[in-house]
Amino acid sequence: MEQEQFGCAQCHAKSCHLGDGNYPPFCPGQTLPEELIRDAMKEYEDEKVRRVAIAAAETESENYCRMTRAAETVEFARKIGAKRIGLAHCVGLLAEAGIMARILRKNGFEVVSISCKCGEQKKADIGISEACHNTGVNICNPILQAKYLNAKKTDLNILIGLCVGHDSLFYKYSEALVTTLVSKDRVMAHNTAGALYQADKYLHLI
């Protein structure tokens, strides 16, 4: 068996954050090619990219441990100058999407929303097995959601509860920036981190 490749997920030192020089021997940051770092930092020279990075940092700093993710999303949208916001949501989270739409409108944003089942295309039409019909015969259509919001010229898209993998396709096809408000986890009441806290206890994932 190949020896496990250690990386940042196995680190407990956080020296890249603390600046104390106490790097573990497997620290990727100590072996990163200078060219890779330069290439990444060069992207921040783009005015739009830099504006987003600054807005994200300010949103974190100003609201650290004070604001919910929903409130921070509103602040971030305001800082990047977004006017029209797209909501791409699961049909199972209509209530949550409706609440977020009201929050955004109250804060002066225009909202465009579309659910995953909109358009009613059949799973069989793209080769999905009938075994998957236990959750419905129509596909979740994140590509259509993204293309619809692209056509509406949204400035920022917010994901609310798209399934694993469907969210991946939305990220791929969205022309606007995307941030996630709710990551779906039906078992954990959409508290995805909860499964990690219980991974080696009750859930036996490790």
Instruction: Write out pLDDT tens, residues 3-38.
Output: 457 899 989 899 999 889 899 999 998 999 999 999
Examine residue 198 and state whether it is found in any structural domain, yes or no: yes
- Contact, 88 vs 150, CB < 8 A? no
Is residue 46 a part of any domain in this protein? no
Q: What is the DSSP letter of 93?
A: G
Q: How far apart are CA 81 and CA 196, in angstroms?
A: 35
- Give a yes or no: residue 24 inside a domain: no
* pLDDT tens digits, one per residue of 151-161: 999 999 999 99
Q: Are 85 and 158 in contact (CB under 8 A)?
A: yes
Q: Measure the CA–CA gap between 165 and 12, rounded to whole angstroms.
A: 30
Q: Which residues constitute the domain of residue 153?
A: 82-206
Residue 206 lies in a domain: yes
Question: In total, how many domains does the chain have?
Answer: 1
pLDDT mean over 58-69: 96
Residue 200 lies in a domain: yes
Would 143 be classed as within a structural domain? yes
Question: What confidence tier does 55 reach under pLDDT thresholds 50, 70, 90?
Answer: very high
What tokens were used for 97? 């999407």
Structural domain includes residue 9: no
Q: How far apart are CA 183 and CA 193, in angstroms?
A: 10
Q: Give 121's pLDDT tier (boundaries 50, 70, 90).
A: very high
**pTM of the full predicted structure?**
0.92
> How many CA atoms lie within 13 Å of 10's alpha carbon, on the beta-carbon side?
9
- β 84-89/156-160 pair status: parallel
Neighbours of 199 (CB within 10 A): 12
The two tokens of residue 50 are 């830099």
Residue 114's pLDDT band, with cuts at 50, 70 and 90, is very high
Mean pLDDT of the region 47-73 = 97
The predicted structure's pLDDT at residue 1: 34
Residue 203 pLDDT greater than 90, yes or no: no
CATH number at residue 183: 3.40.50.2300
CA separation for the pair 90, 170 (Å, rounded)? 12
Closest to 62 (Cα-Cα) out of 46, 78, 47: 78
What value does the mean pLDDT take over residues 57-82? 97
pLDDT for residue 164 is more than 80: yes
For residue 180, being part of any structural domain is answered with yes
Report the distance separating Cα 169 and Cα 118, nearest Å: 16
Which residues share a beta bridge with 110?
84
Residue 141 pLDDT > 60:
yes
